[in-house]
Amino acid sequence: MGSTSDKISGKANEIAGKTKQAAGKAMDDRDMEAKGAVQETKGKGQVASGKVKDKLKGAVDRL
């Protein structure tokens, strides 16, 4: 995936994860809350990966 795709997918996963967590809390469903937390964390990792790719590309372009 490209850096932009990583960041977009990451933000989508963060939002979906937060939504699942909120729904899990509202329904007192700890499993859903946990799955939402995992998805949010995955999204944060994807965003970070996209940012790293941007920095690497910038460093290579300067060479």
Q: 1: how many CB neighbours lie within 10 A of its CB?
A: 13
- Encode pLDDT of 22-50 as tens digits: 999 999 999 999 999 999 999 999 999 99
Instruction: Give the global pTM.
Output: 0.87
Distance CA 6, CA 50 (A): 5
DSSP annotation of 27 reads T
Q: How confident is the model at residue 2 (pLDDT cuts 50, 70, 90)?
A: confident
- pLDDT at residue 15 in the model: 98
DSSP annotation of 28 reads T
- pLDDT at residue 30 in the model: 98
- pLDDT at residue 62 in the model: 87
- pLDDT at residue 42 in the model: 98
Q: What's the number of CA atoms in the CB half-sphere (13 Å) around residue 56?
A: 8
